[in-house]
Amino acid sequence: MAPRYQNRIELLQGTLDLLILQTLQWGPQHGYGISQAIRANSGEILQVDTGSLYPALHRLERQKWISADWRVSDNKQRVRLYRLTAKGKKQLLSERSRWEQLTDAIAGVLSPAKRGQA
Amino acid sequence: MKFPWQRQDRQQELEQELQSHLQMAVSDGIDRGASTAEAAHSARREFGNVALVEQVTRDQWGWLWLEEFLQDLRFGARMLRKTPGFTVVAVLTLALGIGANTAIYSLVNGILLRPLPYYQPDQLVQVTGFYPKGAFAAMREQIHSMDVAAYAEGYEFNLTGAGAPVRLSGTLVSADLFAVLGAQPESGRIFRRGEDLAGQNNFVVLSHALWQQRFASDPSIVGCWIRLEGVQRQIVGVMPADFRFPSPQTQVWVPLNIDPRDTINYWAGDFMPVIGRLRSGATLAQAGAEIRLFQSHVGNLFPWPMPATWNAGISAVSLQDGLVGDIRARLLILLVAVALVLVIACANVANLTLSRAAIRGKEIAVRVSLGAGRGRIVRQLITESVLMAGVGGALGLALAAGGLSLLKSILPADTPRVSDVALDWRVLLFAAALAIITGIISGTAPALHASRPELTETLKAGSRGTTHSASQGLRRALVIGELSLAVLLVCGAGLLIHSLWALSHVDPGFRSENVLTARVTPNESFCNDPGRCFSFYRDLANQVRSLPGVTNSALISTLPLGGRVQKRSVNIENYLPAPSAAEPLLWMNAVSPGYFQAMGIPFLRGREFAEADTSGNSRVAILSAETARRFFPNQDAVGKHLRLLGQKDWCTIIGVAADVRGYDLRRSVPQWMDGTVYLPYGPGASLEDGHIPAEMTLIVRSGANQLQLEESLRNLASSLSDDTPIAEVKPMPVILSAAVSTPRAVTSLFSAFAAVALILGVIGIYGVISFFVGQRTREIGVRMALGAQPRDVLKLVIHEGLSLTLIGVAVGLTAAFALTRFLAGLLYGVSPTDPLNFAGVAVLFAIVALAASYIPARRAMRVDPMIALRYE
């Protein structure tokens, strides 16, 4: 199925979970809203395709990091709203710190001189 | 996690969720100024394949495998219904295999595996040796790794004074036997320490069944006194219904009479089995070491030297192993045989499935070309096989449940723990596991094959499915394997049948036809006045002789094949036992004059006992031929002398009688005995304890009706004495036939399995050859069109069948040659590699295979070339 989704940057394995949890930190959101928020906040660079988003949402729900319920939206539409659970908040913290370690490490590898100065 | 029945709702929710996503995308597009159609189009494009998104999301829910499995199951059931002939044959084959295995496993489970029904059975130990009371008393003092108890089975007690006298089966036990087993009484108490010592042991414990039947479940029975074998005993307890030791036959437990002053009985009475319970922290190995140490010096306590062979190689084994004894080997052999039958059944079903897969090749090719993964198809096909095996397993379980009582009735009556055999959860689990494994085994090869079709070829091949040579090769290999296992089983069955035949046609040394035996069982004390005893038996024999139809009658103390022996140590003239070996131990038979003639035992030398020999004035004895040869090699035993240990007078040997298979049909005496001596039933025929045998067996040769004769015997006995019941009346041929009941049981089961294996093997050959003919119809047509004669076609087909068979037979015989030695312990009168047997099996299989290939061959000969060529 890979060739069908061409115009996107491949997300690193596991980063989508982090992005979803991070997005939900600001309040409950539906799937479409989450994808729009990620796109907007990344300056239109990250496009989450639905074939990854919905499996991820349902997996996170099964892991009890987020919960979901049906609401009627402002324009009278029934939507499925996801919200962060307490367990999800903890998970977000640990994933964030892991991400920061990772980016630091990668940055260190890419420009070793900087690290020496610091 | 969601359950399958909630999936429908969830599926709807998912659809709604994705729809709402799309709608929001569309309205955003409209907000940005696009037309409705444009917005909808771009939203869809951006979204991608809705169905695919749905599917990958659904995959996150779990339970997918279950849903697919149910789907496969439904599909499989539909496919099986479409080919009822195939399904019925395959299911029945599997049912037979699983049923037979389940039944045999239930025996193995009940007899070998199920824990003994006693408290913490893993602590219970059996000492492999046998000890007289004196040695047991010493062991009780000296062994510290376990608490020990001894018992002597097979005693009988006349219960008198409470209604009509009855004879009870009893076991003599040391006082701590119940405590060692951890058994609690249903009412009253068990024996206390010291209640097996002489003078302190007039107690008895009843079985639940006896208490119910004989004492009408009287709740106040404990404390009452009853008269057993002329001795007053107080009932101290009643055991619960589920307590059995050593066998369910025991009705009363009577304490041993341990009396050091009675030297003979104390050191030479019953040699009893000993059981023990490990004390906390002790291990079986420690107990074994302690017992070996004890054995190394216990001989010194005896008032006479004990042979070094006594209890040689003693050890301690778990009680479970000890009780089960040599039935283990027999059961395991049966289990292996029946497992082979199941393997053959699997091969057969795999073969059937393969031929069907050939027909279904097109269906599978279509599914593969529509995108079904190979794994998915294999899973589907195996599910189908497992479904079939599941149905077969359920049927087989029903078969086993129905056949279990039949199976138990085939087993010899003295099989240990038969009462523990039942279809319990372990058996159910076994059957279920067997069904699943069977399904997987019989389904895997065909499924792997079928899932690899050559698409274009199969789809092109019109209405007929094709097979490729690989499939035919696999089918051949399966049939060869099947045949070789069948050959192996039939070889084993042939040997067992041969040996059963030899055993049941063994000359027992006497003529059993028209002989009725009756055990006369007075109280042990009946012969305290020997004169009364002698005259009673003399009168009885004389009066029986005058009954109508009776041609002869005599008495013997231990009937050949009667299950009892009487041992007696003797001094033999001019025979010096090897240093540190004991005096010869003979089987002593007390017989009435005329015994040899009445039993039809050939007399080789000298003369029979005469009436005058019973007076005791002249001491005489008769030896068996084997015994005479052993102790008087190259001499005439007649005129020589022997003396019973403990007696003053020497007996003159007056005759030699032919050997009698007295102990079992293979041997005249047990291995630990040195021969057989006959004494006239009179004052000289004293046992080790100095008493005259009180119980005698009457043998009556007569043409009269058995029931009438039995009636007259009982009347006669009761007219001569009030307290001499006749315990059991059995025709001698029945006793002979019971002596082969164990080999007969093993042989008939094994042969039944071999027969099933043979039939399955034949079906296998028939199937492969039919398929071969079906595949080559066109080729045969061409050959016939080119002038081949039906004979040539016949040759072609038969050649195929025979070559498969010959390979199978060769492999099977090789395996049999290597494996039949494991049967050696069960064989009699035939060598495990008997060439006649092997040749016979080879010929049998060749004939059967010819017959099985002839039917399809005839079909091939009748092929009409024109029709065959237009076949496609």
Q: Of B324, B353, B385, which residue sits at a domain end?
A: B324
Q: Are A54 and B18 in contact (CB < 8 Å)?
A: yes
Q: What pLDDT does B403 receive? A: 84
Q: What pLDDT does B441 receive? A: 83
Question: How many whole angstroms separate alpha carbon B453 and alpha carbon B465?
Answer: 11
Residue B470 has pLDDT above 70, yes or no: no
Which range among A110-114, B113-117, B162-166, B698-702 has the greatest average pLDDT?
B698-702
B147 and B26 inside one domain: no
Residue A116 has pLDDT above 60, yes or no: no
Question: How many whole angstroms separate alpha carbon B637 and alpha carbon B654?
Answer: 8
- Band (B274; pLDDT cuts 50, 70, 90): very high
Q: Are A4 and B24 in contact (CB < 8 Å)?
A: no
Q: Are A80 and B24 in contact (CB < 8 Å)?
A: no
Q: What pLDDT does B468 receive? A: 52
Q: What pLDDT does B579 receive? A: 66
Q: What pLDDT does B640 receive? A: 93
Interface of B with A (CB under 8 A): 1, 13-14, 16-18, 20-21, 23-25, 27-28, 47-49, 52-53, 56-57, 59-62
Residue B286 included in any domain: yes
Chain B residue numbers with beta carbons less than 8 Å from the beta carbon of A55 are 56-57, 59-60
Residue B91 included in any domain: no
Tokens representing B866? 């024109």
**What tens digit of pLDDT does each residue of B694-716 get?**
889 999 998 878 888 888 888 88
Q: What pLDDT does B466 receive? A: 46
Angle in degrees, 0-180, between the axes of helices B425-450 and B327-369, rounded to the nearest 10 = 40
Q: What pLDDT does B63 receive? A: 60
Residue B1 has pLDDT above 70, yes or no: no
Place of tokens 């922290």: B281
Substitution target in B1, B22, B49, B56 with the highest count of A β-carbons within 10 Å is B56
Residue type, B142: Q
**What tens digit of pLDDT does each residue of B44-83 get?**
888 888 888 887 787 777 665 676 778 888 888 888 888 8
CA angle B518, B521, B523 (to 5 degrees): 170
Q: What pLDDT does A2 receive? A: 37
**What tens digit of pLDDT does each residue of A19-30 get?**
999 999 989 999
Residue B469 has pLDDT above 60, yes or no: no
Find the CB nearest B16 among A5, A59, A78.
Answer: A78
Residue B574 has pLDDT above 60, yes or no: yes
Which range has the worst mean pLDDT, A111-115, B90-94, B335-339, B705-709? A111-115
- Percentage, residues of chain B above pLDDT 70: 94
B125 and B259 inside one domain: yes
Q: Are A32 and B25 in contact (CB < 8 Å)?
A: yes
Q: What pLDDT does A117 receive? A: 47
Q: What pLDDT does B62 receive? A: 64
Q: Is the peptide bond before B246 cis (omega within 30 degrees of 0)?
A: yes
Cα B46 to the chain's mean position, in Å? 73
Q: What pLDDT does B371 receive? A: 59
Q: What pLDDT does A73 receive? A: 78
Find the CB nearest B20 among A1, A58, A79.
Answer: A79
CA angle B490, B495, B499 (to 5 degrees): 145
Average pLDDT value for residue range B467-484: 78
In which element (H, E) is residue B623 found? strand B620-624
Average pLDDT value for residue range B84-112: 88
Residue B71 included in any domain: no
Residue B735 included in any domain: no
- Band (B790; pLDDT cuts 50, 70, 90): confident
Substitution target in A20, A44, A54 with the highest count of B β-carbons within 10 Å is A54
Whole-structure pTM value: 0.71
**What tens digit of pLDDT does each residue of B639-676 get?**
999 999 888 889 999 999 999 999 988 889 988 888 99
CA angle B232, B234, B237 (to 5 degrees): 145
Average pLDDT value for residue range A99-115: 81
B446 and B316 inside one domain: no
CB B308 within 8 A of CB B578: no
**What tens digit of pLDDT does each residue of B760-771 get?**
888 888 888 888
- Band (A8; pLDDT cuts 50, 70, 90): very low
CB B158 within 8 A of CB B521: yes
Residue B611 included in any domain: yes
Question: How many whole angstroms separate alpha carbon B567 and alpha carbon B47?
Answer: 98
Q: How far is B27 from chain A (nearest CA, A)?
A: 10
Which range has the worst mean pLDDT, A54-68, B302-316, B604-618, B799-813? B302-316
B388 and B490 inside one domain: yes
B293 and B340 inside one domain: no
Q: What pLDDT does B593 receive? A: 92
Q: Of B691, B724, B757, which residue sits at a domain end?
A: B724
SS3 for B149? strand
Place of tokens 């906390």: B280
Substitution target in A1, A5, A58 with the highest count of B β-carbons within 10 Å is A58
Residue B86 included in any domain: no
Q: What pLDDT does B457 receive? A: 57
Mean pLDDT of chain B: 86
Q: What pLDDT does B455 receive? A: 53
Q: What pLDDT does A93 receive? A: 92
- Band (A77; pLDDT cuts 50, 70, 90): confident
Q: Of B62, B81, B98, which residue sits at a domain end?
A: B62
Average pLDDT value for residue range B329-340: 89
Residue B868 has pLDDT above 80, yes or no: no
B749 and B665 inside one domain: no
* Fold (topology level) of A2-117: Arc Repressor Mutant, subunit A (1.10.10)
**What tens digit of pLDDT does each residue of B495-549 get?**
999 998 888 888 899 998 899 999 888 877 788 888 888 988 998 888 899 888 8
Find the CB nearest B24 among A5, A32, A55.
Answer: A32
B423 and B542 inside one domain: no
B171 and B261 inside one domain: yes
Across B79-88, b (16+ Cβ under 10 Å) vs e yields bbeeeeebbe
Residue B68 included in any domain: no
Find the CB nearest B17 among A31, A36, A51.
Answer: A31
Q: Domain total for chain B?
A: 4
Residues of the domain holding B692? 522-724
B768 and B690 inside one domain: no
Query: Which residue does chain B place closest to A81, by CA atoms?
Result: B17
Question: How many whole angstroms separate alpha carbon A111 and alpha carbon B650?
Answer: 117
**What tens digit of pLDDT does each residue of B816-843 get?**
998 888 888 888 888 888 999 999 999 9
- Band (B146; pLDDT cuts 50, 70, 90): very high
Q: What pLDDT does B133 receive? A: 92
B554 and B579 inside one domain: yes
B341 and B459 inside one domain: yes
Residue B763 included in any domain: yes
Chain B residue numbers with beta carbons less than 8 Å from the beta carbon of A7 are none
Say whether the ipTM exceeds 0.95: no
B318 and B336 inside one domain: no
